[in-house]
Structures are given as structure tokens and as C-alpha cells.
């Protein structure tokens, strides 16, 4: 039986992973209380004690703006901890699955980014995630680095839930309309991870492992995403939905810069594994259907 250790139990992706991966082996999931990634000794001890054949790291410091003030912490969690996981995986012949981000790119390209494009992060979060990627790639461990984008889930703090909350609180929402990306449902990321690992188990081919872009297909701006969320939102009778006003990034300054183009080309995933991510709007509908039936 394959021992699978998932780190980051309470995150958006971390919550979706255990049931998606259950058919692949014996799954253990750890939250921050069980394993704090700032404790390097505990990280080594924990991996040693579980002896996983597969480590899935869904934990990260994802607060993009807060990372600007806490670079040490962002690097500790997003770069040093994955480096240790990779070293431990390499020593024990385990496979490391790690998630990364569209924010490794500067967004200056006019078409979707491919895996061979040169990263050039604009903010500390992106820099720390890119450092994590490099550490894993240089470790010699068997690995998948899966770059995804604009992650949301039914629970947790994310754009979907912010818009749903603000819909009943404000008469007008001013939303950025010049950043382009693919909102990706955490559950779909977990499902794609399961498909990838199933294929890897059935036919282990080391040359297929490595870096993959892993987001929904298609692209939309935050304003377009908000439009789709509001279109599926109903308020109590007598209440009307807020007006949506498109604004520019410059009109909504934040501590961390964001790439204007966050689109990821997922052709490599299709070519190597036959995995074709769903369009972002189909994913959103599936997420909202699941929410309603819960």
C-alpha cells in the first residue's frame, strides 16, 4: 500500500485532496498544528516517521500582500520547507508533489505562459514560490511542480466568497478589469492531481515528471469572474444585486504588484497525461452546484 502524506490539511486544495487521492493509497493529512513548516526539525522528523512514498505539499504562505512585510516567513514556508521536503524525498526515493503559482511570471507576455518561459516574479510571494521550485528542481528528487492560478473553493477566504459576501453588503462593486487569468477550483486541482498520480502509478516514467501548468482553461478578468459569480447569486426577495464597475489595476493599489497576464498554457499536461482542464466557467458552475447541493 502506498503511503501518501498530505501537508496543508485546512487549505483550499488541502481540504479537497484526501478524498481525491484516497484510491491511490493510505492517506495521512497534517494541519499546521500537527506540523508547523517553520519548524525544520519537526518537518524532518515527521517525514521520517511517516515514511511516505508520496508527499503532497498543499501548504504555503499565500497571503500575497502580507508577504511583502514578512519576506522571511514567506521564504521559510514557500522555499525552505519545500527544499527540505525535496531533500527528504530524494533520500528516501519518495515522490514530491508541490503546487506553485502563475505569480512566478511578470505578466508581460501577451500569450499564455508555457513551462519553459523564464519566471520573473513581481512580488515577494512569487519570488519565494519560485525559490521553492528551484530548490525542488535542484534536489534530484522525483517531483511534480504544478503551477496553478486564482484558486477558489466553496470555503475559505477567496475571491468567490468575497464577492458573494459583498453582494449583500454593497450597492456597487469596483473590480479590476485589466488582469487576465484563469480562476481554478481547488476541487478540480485535487481531481487533476489524482489523475496525474494515477497515471504515474500505472506507468511510472521519470522523464514525464517535472513542471506542469495546471489551471482551468480559458481566461477572464477579475471583473468578468465577478460578473459570473453575481450571475449565479440570488439575494433575498426585494434586494438587488450590486452594480459592477470595471476599474484598472492602477485604480486599486495594493502592497504587492500582480502580473497583468496570468494565463498558463496547459498543453504539456494534455500531451503527457491526456488531462484537459475544464473551462473556468464550467468549473465555477460545478463548484456552485456542489455548494447548493451540500
Q: How far apart (Å, rounded) are the C-alpha atoms in residues 241 and 169? A: 10
State in angstroms the smallest separation of the CB of 92 from ligand NAP.
21
State in angstroms the smallest separation of the CB of 148 from ligand NAP.
5
Q: How far apart (Å, rounded) are the C-alpha atoms in residues 242 and 173? A: 6
- The interface region with ligand NAP, picked from 11-19, 190-198, 223-231, 285-293 by CB under 6 A, is 11-19
Q: Which of 4, 5, 6, 14 binds ligand NAP (CB under 6 A)?
A: 14
Q: How far apart (Å, rounded) are the C-alpha atoms in residues 218 and 228? A: 14
Phi, psi of 130 (to 5 degrees): -65, -40
Q: Which of 46, 123, 128, 149 binds ligand NAP (CB under 6 A)?
A: 149
From the list 75, 125, 152, 212, the catalytic residue is 125
Residues 6+ apart with CB under 8 A from 258: 64, 103, 107, 122, 123, 179, 249
Residues 6+ apart with CB under 8 A from 281: 218, 220, 228
Centre a 10 Å sphere on the Cβ of residue 292 and count the other Cβ atoms it contains. Answer: 9
Q: Which of 32, 70, 208, 285 binds ligand NAP (CB under 6 A)?
A: 32
Q: Is 60 in the site for ligand NAP (CB under 6 A)?
A: yes
Q: Which of 28, 36, 68, 241 binds ligand NAP (CB under 6 A)?
A: 36
- List residues binding ligand NAP (CB under 6 A): 8, 10-14, 32, 35-38, 58-62, 77, 99, 101-102, 129, 148-151, 156, 186
- Give the catalytic positions in this structure: 125
Amino acid at each position: 500500500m502506498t503511503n501518501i502524506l498530505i501537508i496543508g490539511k485546512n487549505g483550499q486544495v488541502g481540504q479537497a485532496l484526501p478524498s481525491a487521492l484516497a484510491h491511490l493509497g493510505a492517506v495521512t493529512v497534517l494541519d499546521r498544528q500537527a506540523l508547523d513548516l517553520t519548524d525544520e526539525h519537526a518537518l524532518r522528523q515527521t517525514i521520517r516517521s511517516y515514511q511516505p512514498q508520496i508527499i503532497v505539499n498543499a501548504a504555503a504562505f499565500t497571503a500575497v500582500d502580507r508577504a511583502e512585510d514578512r519576506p522571511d516567513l514567506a521564504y521559510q514556508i514557500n522555499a525552505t520547507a519545500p527544499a527540505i521536503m525535496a531533500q527528504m524525498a530524494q533520500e528516501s526515493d519518495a515522490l514530491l508533489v508541490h503546487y506553485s503559482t502563475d505569480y512566478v511570471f511578470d505578466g508581460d507576455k501577451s500569450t499564455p505562459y508555457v513551462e519553459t518561459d523564464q519566471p520573473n516574479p513581481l512580488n515577494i510571494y512569487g519570488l519565494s514560490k519560485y525559490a521553492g521550485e528551484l530548490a525542488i528542481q535542484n534536489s534530484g528528487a522525483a517531483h511534480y511542480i504544478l503551477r496553478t492560478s486564482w484558486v477558489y473553493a466553496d470555503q475559505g477566504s477567496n475571491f468567490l466568497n468575497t464577492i458573494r459576501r459583498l453582494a449583500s453588503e454593497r450597492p456597487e462593486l469596483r473590480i479590476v478589469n485589466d488582469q487576465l487569468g484563469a480562476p481554478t477550483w481547488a476541487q478540480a486541482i485535487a481531481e487533476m492531481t489524482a489523475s496525474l498520480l494515477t497515471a504515474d502509478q500505472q506507468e511510472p516514467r521519470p522523464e514525464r515528471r517535472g513542471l506542469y501548468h495546471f489551471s482551468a482553461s480559458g481566461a477572464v478578468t477579475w471583473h468578468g469572474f465577478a460578473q459570473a459569480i453575481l450571475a449565479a447569486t440570488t439575494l433575498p426577495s426585494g434586494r438587488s444585486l450590486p452594480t459592477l464597475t470595471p476599474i484598472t489595476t492602477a485604480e486599486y493599489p495594493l502592497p504587492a504588484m500582480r502580473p497583468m497576464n496570468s494565463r498558463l498554457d496547459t498543453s504539456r499536461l494534455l500531451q503527457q497525461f491526456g488531462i484537459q482542464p475544464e473551462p473556468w466557467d464550467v468549473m465555477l458552475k460545478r463548484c456552485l452546484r456542489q455548494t447548493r447541493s451540500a
